[in-house]
Amino acid sequence: MKARKLPSLNALRAFEASARLRSFTQAAQELCVTQGAVSHQVKALEESIGLPLFERLANQLRLTPAGASYMKVVADAFDRIEIGTRHLHEQRTRKRLAVSTSPNFAAKWLVPRLGSFSAQHPDLEMRVEQREQRANFIRADIDIAIRYGAGMWPGLAKHQLAQEFLLPVAAPALAPAPAPASALSEADSVAGILRHPLLHAGERAPWENWLARYGSSSDARAAEHGVLFSHDSAAIDAAVAGQGVALARASLAVEDIRQGRLIVLARQTLPLAEHYWMLHPQDSELDENSLAFADWLQQSFTADHQFWAGLKLQN
């Protein structure tokens, strides 16, 4: 077998840091060497390859087309080495699991249920990262991410958790009397809902679409009014507080409904094109901790699906 023809690891580290930071000086600080050493390593790499990797401008580094192409290869190789090293390290350390999800999902779905998973795995050290941006599995040391979207995440393995839809919910005090909401006709349901303030999450269009579909065009104009929240969880919390009717994402409202803090004011739902997904790197297998969490996650969503089926909702 022929020996591998690989550049110096130090030269590759100097190139990767310089390309990522766009600066020899910052790369030197990160690698704890001098700026001259980084510049020398990069120049030696360029000479060995026979192509310039950077355009050296005044106070700025810019990747050449060859440099940009090479950076993708080097960064991917370093990521794989980092993943493999981390997994080996974890085999000799205590059990751990890092999950990344949005603040909405964490607050309304994950946190209320997390105790049951922790009780099943008392020796597992768990970390939950709450952020809207795409999870950085390598640099943030994330094992599993839960994200809402259409399923377009290149390079990631994805597993759909639910069919998502919107439905009108409110505090029990806002329920129409004397008949329960489930006994009302569509027209009566819309009229009853419009007697209360509408609560919006992110935009007013969902309420407008629901009212146009199950009421009339004049009903849809009611969506122009009501409080507009930037987060779904805030709109649901406002509904729990009796401040109006929220058109809530099913997965975010299900626990409040199950616990009696919210009721469904109409069976008519609005299907969504986006859903919740479980994500992880496509080129790495889930370890036993991640598999345990994935199984628990799927079982929990299956229970939610059965709960909705019992309500006999319409779409």
Instruction: Report whether 104 contacts 233 (CB < 8 A).
Output: yes
- What was the pLDDT predicted at 155? 84
CA 241, CA 173: separation in Å to the nearest integer? 10
Q: State the CB neighbour count (10 A cutoff) for residue 276.
A: 24
- What was the pLDDT predicted at 176? 67
Handedness of CA 53, 57, 58, 59 (dihedral sign): negative
- What was the pLDDT predicted at 92? 58
| SS3 state at 165 | strand
| SS3 state at 261 | coil
Buried b (16+ CB within 10 A) or exposed e, 123-158: ebebeeeeeeeebebeeeebbbbbbbeeeebeebeb
Q: Taking the complete model, does pTM exceed 0.85, yes or no? A: no
Buried b (16+ CB within 10 A) or exposed e, 206-217: bbbebbeebbee
Q: What is the pLDDT of residues 149-193, one digit of tens each?
A: 998 888 889 999 999 999 999 999 988 654 444 444 555 688 889
Q: Which residues of the chain have pLDDT under 50?
A: 178-184
